[in-house]
Amino acid sequence: MLRMDLNRRRIIWGRRVAAPQFCRALLAISCIGTLAIAACQRSDDSVTEISVQEQITPQPPRVGPATVVVDLADAAAKPVSRATIMVEADMSHPGMGPVFDSARETAPGSYRTQIDFNMGGDWVVLLHIKLADGRKIERQMDVKGVRSN
C-alpha cells in the first residue's frame, strides 16, 4: 500500500522512507560544478573587434550555385588577411546532408566561395572563421526561401 503523509515522506509497506539526502547533495554539487566550469571559461572579447560582413548572391537566392562573399576588417577598418573560412550550408529541416566548402581570399580581407543550394526552402549557412593568430569566430546566416528554378 503506497500513500503520502502530511510531511511528504513516503510510507511503503508500513516503513517510513525519507528522500535520499545523498541524491540531493549530488545534484547540488553537479549543478555548482557545471556553473563553475561555465563561469571559468575565458571569453575572447578581442574577437568582437573584428567586423564580419557576409553576402550571398544571387538575391533572392535560387536553387543552384550561389556565391558567398565574406569581408573581414579590424577595429580600424583595415582588412584582415590570412584567415581560414570554412562554409557549411544545411537546410533548416532534417533529412538533407550539409554542403561544405572553404572560402579563398580574393583580395585583402575579402573571401569568396561557391555553395550549391540543391533544394528549395530555408537554409542555414555557418561560417567557421579562424584568424591567422588562432582566434575563432562563428557566424550564422539564415537564408530564407531559396526558390526552385
Question: pLDDT truncated to tens, each residue of the chain (149 aa)?
Answer: 445 444 455 555 666 555 566 556 656 676 565 655 555 544 444 466 889 999 999 998 999 999 999 999 998 999 999 999 999 999 887 777 888 999 999 999 999 999 998 888 899 999 999 999 999 999 999 999 888 87
**How confident is the model at residue 5, as a pLDDT?**
47
Name every residue whose Cβ is closer than 8 Å to that of residue 56 and which is 6 or more positions away in sequence: 66, 67, 68, 69, 125, 141, 143
Looking at 2.40.30.110, 2.60.40.1940, 1.25.10.10, 1.10.10.10, the CATH number of the domain 45-146 comes to 2.60.40.1940
CA distance 136 to 4: 55
State how far Cα 6 lies from the chain centre.
48
Phi, psi of 39 (to 5 degrees): -75, -30
Residue with cell 530564407: 144
Segments making up each domain of the chain, as ranges: 2-40, 45-146
From residue 60, give the alpha-carbon distance in Å to each of 42, 64, 67, 82: 39, 12, 12, 30
Reported pTM = 0.65
